[in-house]
């Protein structure tokens, strides 16, 4: 039912300014979930096999990518739609408003989005409270963490450590975002020396937290699609040396080669959706080779159909995430991917 009504809803939503449509949709989804309508409309998610990754069991391999539920206050609603895991955030230690608007642009002819949101989020404490108050979602919740805009890169590690500690009691996994193009200097933390230093500190803190709490929370790093082969090889080795639990590949791209003729291509920010698909699959393949298949990969970037999902799996991804595909195709895409399964796209 929900799947059949989405094309109509999308028509109406796409008439609204993109960020207004986003905020309105989240409010509507939450309200529909609270009063039981969403459950009736969405029905039962398709049966799919559980999957093990990062030492955890996931109800299925398809998750919601970071950035859609930045605050973590819509987890139950997204869960109803069939996602097996939801990555909230990016969340920073302090709340921050993000970049000036407009900062979100739809490119419907390309099934793409450009955003320069700049980590608008309510801060880690509220994120934790929101996750604690989710009640019905049975899947896994990841915390995607970042640094505040006014924290200089030499102190970035303190922001990540603070978020790690705060999220520890409630997160199923932590994703360290080193790849947003919209926080000045963030991507420099993907440099081999900086990444090694960051990982060393984070792993030491995780060991302490495990000792104190008796629980362990896997650590993932989210990478950019704009890394070259040499950078991927160097990072892969560092990830192996520091026993990283997963690589999330990829974030949005700053490259505009595939949308040159598009007037909005000049907008600053990260490009996602269909034009990102092949590039992100290549990066998944390159990381898979660089780590010899020893670190699982969460594949994200331009999954607009079950065959795109299959391509990511063939490139080496264990889990998958959607953002833009969900905006363009709605809940139907979740079902199509889940019912296609890994071998039958």
Ligand X SMILES: Cc1cc2nc3c(=O)[nH]c(=O)nc-3n(C[C@H](O)[C@H](O)[C@H](O)COP(=O)(O)O)c2cc1C
* Number of residues near ligand X (by CB under 6 A): 28
Q: Which of 171, 322, 337, 338 binds ligand X (CB under 6 A)?
A: 322
Site for ligand X in 25-44 (CB under 6 A): none
Look up residue 13 and give its DSSP letter.
H
**What is the C-alpha R_g of the chain?**
19
Rounded to a whole number of angstroms, the minimum distance from the CB of residue 127 to ligand X is: 12
Long-range contacts from 203-209, C-beta under 8 angstroms, 24+ separation: 203/242, 203/243, 205/161, 205/164, 205/165, 206/164, 209/164, 209/165, 209/168
Query: Is 325 near ligand X (CB under 6 A)?
Result: yes
Q: How far is CA 190 from the centre of its chain?
A: 17
Q: Which residues are CB-contacts of 180 (< 8 A; sequence separation ≥ 6)? A: 90, 119, 146, 186, 187, 251, 252, 270
Cβ proximity to ligand X, 53 vs 136, nearer residue? 53
Cα 147 to Cα 56, 92, 177, 299, distances in angstroms? 26, 5, 9, 23
Closest approach, Cβ 214 to ligand X, in A, equals: 29
Out of 198, 199, 247, 276, the residue judged to bind ligand X by CB under 6 A: 276
Residue that the structure tokens 């970037």 belong to: 301
Q: Residue 253 carries which DSSP code?
A: B
Among 180, 183, 190, 305, binds ligand X (CB under 6 A): 180
Among 58, 160, 323, 328, binds ligand X (CB under 6 A): 323
Among candidate residues 166, 180, 280, 324, the one labeled active-site is 180
Using the minimum distance from each CB to ligand X, give the nearer residue, 63 or 236.
Answer: 63
Structural element, H or E, at residue 238: helix 229-241
Pick the closest to residue 138 from 189, 204, 83 (CA basis). 83
Cα(245)–Cα(54) distance, rounded to whole angstroms? 6
Question: Does residue 166 carry a catalytic annotation?
Answer: no
Q: Minimum distance from CB of 309 to ligand X (Å)?
A: 11
Whether residue 118 contacts residue 103, with contact meaning beta carbons closer than 8 Å, is answered with yes
User: Scanning residues 196 to 235, which ones bind ligand X (CB under 6 A)?
Assistant: 222
- 130 — phi, psi (to 5°)? -60, -45
How near is the Cβ of 268 to ligand X at its closest, in Å?
14
| Residue 320 interacting with ligand X (CB under 6 A) | no
Which range binds ligand X by CB under 6 A, 28-36, 131-139, 166-174, 299-307? 299-307
Binding residues among 93-152 for ligand X as defined by CB under 6 A: 104, 113, 115, 117, 119, 144
Q: Candidates 77-85, 150-158, 200-208, 316-324 — which segment interacts with ligand X by CB under 6 A?
A: 316-324
Q: Which residues are catalytic?
A: 180
Which residue ranges make up the site for ligand X (CB under 6 A)? 65-67, 70, 89-90, 104, 113, 115, 117, 119, 144, 177, 180, 222, 251-252, 272-273, 276, 300-303, 322-325
């Amino acid at each position: 039912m929900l799947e059949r009504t989405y094309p109509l809803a999308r028509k109406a939503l796409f008439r609204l300014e993109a960020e207004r449509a986003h905020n309105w949709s989240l409010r509507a989804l939450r309200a529909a979930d609270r009063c039981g309508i969403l459950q009736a409309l969405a029905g039962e998610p398709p049966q799919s096999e559980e999957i093990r990754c990062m030492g955890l069991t996931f109800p299925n391999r398809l998750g919601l990518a970071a950035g859609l539920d930045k605050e973590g206050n819509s987890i139950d609603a997204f869960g109803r739609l069939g996602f097996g895991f939801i990555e909230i955030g990016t969340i920073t230690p302090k709340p921050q408003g993000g970049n000036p608007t407009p900062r979100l642009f739809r490119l419907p002819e390309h099934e793409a989005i450009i955003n320069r949101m700049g980590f608008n989020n309510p801060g880690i404490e509220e994120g934790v409270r929101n996750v604690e108050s989710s009640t019905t979602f049975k899947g896994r919740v990841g915390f995607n963490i970042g640094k505040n805009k006014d924290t200089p890169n030499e102190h970035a590690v303190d922001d990540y450590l603070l978020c790690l500690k705060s999220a520890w009691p409630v997160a199923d996994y932590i994703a360290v975002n080193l790849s947003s193009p919209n926080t000045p200097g963030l991507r420099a933390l993907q440099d081999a020396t900086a990444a090694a230093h960051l990982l060393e500190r984070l792993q030491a803190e995780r060991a302490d937290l495990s000792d104190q709490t008796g629980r362990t929370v896997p650590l993932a790093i989210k990478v950019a699609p704009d890394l070259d082969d040499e950078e991927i090889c160097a990072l892969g080795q560092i990830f192996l040396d520091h026993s990283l639990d997963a690589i999330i590949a990829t974030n949005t791209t700053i490259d505009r080669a595939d949308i040159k003729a598009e007037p909005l291509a000049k907008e600053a920010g990260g490009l996602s959706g269909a034009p990102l698909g092949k590039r992100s699959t290549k990066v998944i393949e390159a990381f898979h080779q660089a780590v010899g298949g020893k670190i699982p990969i969460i594949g994200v970037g331009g999954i607009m159909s079950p065959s795109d999902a299959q391509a990511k799996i063939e490139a080496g991804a264990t889990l998958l995430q959607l953002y833009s595909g969900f905006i363009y195709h709605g809940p139907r895409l979740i079902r199509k991917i889940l019912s296609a399964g890994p071998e039958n796209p």
